[in-house]
Structure 1
Amino acid sequence: MHTPSVQLYSLRDAVADDLPGTVARVREIGYEHVEPYAFDTNADAYAKAFADAGVTAPSGHAAVIDREDPSVVFDAAARLGMDVVIDPFIPTDRWRTADDATRIAERVNALAEQARSHGLRFGYHNHQWEFTNEVDGRPIYDLFVEQLAPDVVLEVDTFWATVGGADVPAVLRSLGDRVVAIHVKDGKVTGDIATALPSARSALVVPDALRAAYEEQTPAGQGDVDVPAILAAAPRALRVVEFDSYQGDVFDGIAQSLAWLTENDR
């Protein structure tokens, strides 16, 4: 049996209002692991909330690739007892050419080496554009992965890779143990969500069409994503439940995803 995690970005409004209460409620739902975001800005508050609730953070998201001083992030991650730090977002306009893939891969490789000196692993989390943007008929994600050092890890957002047109189980099998975590997310994968993109400044700044499509995300097993095949293709990866947005009570949404994983991920 796997012990799933949940990306706290799913609960960002509640986190902003009451971090300790939110983490405690996540633990009451049944999650033993959490994946915090931007944890370098309030590591002490996260650490207290995690300790009080009895949860751990095997992985976390923070903007590292563009940081002038990544050690701030790695120090915070070590403070929180993490194993893996993931950069969640490099915008689509920087994933256009073979040179772009090389530039990002070289930076990620250097950061992985720096992370190792803090006792951490470092990697990247995709959206759809790394698969929809192609170079010579190949997804630019492939070019990026081919240039990564052996110790660089990946967190595959299986929903966004599906939206981007990837055969996600095949991708996961090809990447093998480099994939240390997957985002388990479900919903509609066609229409505006396949073509609308966030701004180049932030994944949080999105057009109305994409914001509406976000709201069609569902708990695991209730949408268009072949979640069972994805889980089978990444048997050792940490399962991290996430919603970009959800029309209902998001705490109920993450509870439904956990219940589905408990029943189906064996």
Structure 2
Amino acid sequence: MKISVQMYSVRQALAADFPGTVQRLCDLGFDTAEPFGLVEFRDDLVRARERFDITFPSAHQSFLGDVDFDEVLEAANAVGVTYLVDPFWEPADWQDPARVRDLAGRLNARAEQAAEAGIRVGYHNHHFELAAQLDSRSALELFAEHLAPRVVLEIDTYWAVVGGADITTLLATLGERVKLVHLKDGDLAQDPAGQLPVGAGRMPLEETLTAAAGVEYGVIEFDEYDGDVFEGLEASLRRLRAEA
């Protein structure tokens, strides 16, 4: 598993100094990162890729709604993205099986468009897709059953556990469709303020890493962090390297 970092973790620093923040991530030891707001930050990311020893194989960008998908794909190609991941869909729609199937169909259609550009699309979960139980399984599992083979999933292991999932069982059930995981830790509350460096909270780290052994990218992320987020990222990276 290649270790990456979700740039949303350092969003405030990026807003103040984009290239300087990318340099700091490189100095911590990251040579792979996952941007957010791909279209918005397209030009900054292209320049960062040219200037620093860093790549952006995956990225978060909303595209399941009414957007210019050609613009999204152009940005993805310019930045060097392989896995284009929609990071969020409305919680209410995960309560209805018909809406879940419709959303899967929408993602499948995007996958066909993206294939021509050599890009694979996917979805990233929060807790509510696992908390919603439909026909004796989670809404996320129902969603996965209706996805085309080319579509990938990026499982946020922390939010999956917050949503009530057994992470080893979930990853085994979803199988090879999971190409990326988000790795984080904390108190397992829905309030992200209690998030901690990887290995410092209540997440079953060893079991998670074992279950995710075949995943291509493990992405460290803090939704929020009560402290110096760069120190939190460094501690997380250090722990994951020790577990490797």
Q: Please give the TM-score of this superposition, normalised by the length of structure 2.
A: 0.97
Aligned to 2:120: 121
Q: Displacement of 1:55 after TM fit?
A: 0.2
Supply the RMSD in Å over aligned alpha carbons.
1.0
Provide the rounded CA distance (Å) in 2 between the counterparts of 1:117 and 1:146: 24
Mapped partners of 1:249, 1:86: distance in 2: 27
Q: Is residue 2:108 matched to residue 1:130?
A: no
> Which residue, out of 177, 193, 210, partners 1:215?
193
1:199 aligned residue: none
Please give the TM-score of this superposition, normalised by the length of structure 1.
0.89
The counterpart of 1:243, out of the listed 212, 218, 222, is 222
CA deviation profile, 1:110-167 (whole Å, cap 9, x unmatched): 0111111111000000000001112233211111110000110000000000000001
1:167-246 to structure 2, matched below 5 A, reads 167-190=166-189, 193=190, 213-237=191-215, 238-246=217-225
CA distance in 1, matches of 2:170, 2:8: 25
Q: State the 1:95 CA deviation.
A: 1.0
* Structure 1 residue ranges without an equivalent (≥5): 194-212
Query: Which residue number corresponds to residue 95 of structure 1?
Result: 94
| One of 236, 239, 244 as aligned partner of 1:260 | 239
Question: For 1:42 and 1:242, how far apart are their aligned partners in 2?
Answer: 18
1:148 to 2:127 alignment: no
Deviation digits for residues 53-111 of structure 1 (CA, Å, limit 9, x no counterpart)? 21001100000101332121111011111110000000211111110111100001001
Question: Do the aligned residues in 1 keep the contact of 2:141 with 2:174 (CA within 8 Å)?
Answer: no
For 1:209-262, what per-residue CA distance to the aligned partner results, in whole angstroms no more than 9, with x for missing partners? xxxx31210010111111211111111221100000000100000000000010
Shift of 1:15: 0.8
Contact 2:4 2:220 in 1 (8 A): yes
Question: Using the alignment, how far apart are the partners of 2:66 and 2:239 within structure 1?
Answer: 37
Unaligned runs of 5+ in 2: none
User: Residue 206 of structure 1 corresponds to which residue in structure 2?
Assistant: none
**Aligned position for 1:106:** 105
Structure 1 residue ranges (4+ consecutive) displaced by more than 2 angstroms after TM superposition: none
Q: Post-superposition shift, 1:47?
A: 1.0
**Number of residue equivalences:** 243
Contact 2:4 2:30 in 1 (8 A): yes
Aligned partners of 2:54, 2:225: CA distance in 1, in Å? 24
Whichever residue aligns with residue 174 of structure 1, its letter is: T
2:140 partner SS: helix
Query: What letter is aligned with 1:76?
Result: A
Question: Which residue identity does 2:206 align to in structure 1?
Answer: P
SS at match of 1:95: helix
Listed one character per residue, the Cα deviations across residues 159-208 of structure 1 (whole Å, up to 9, x for unaligned) are 00000000111111122221110000100114xx1xxxxxxxxxxxxxxx
Inter-partner Cα distance in structure 1 for 2:185 and 2:49: 27
AA partner of residue 230 (structure 1): T
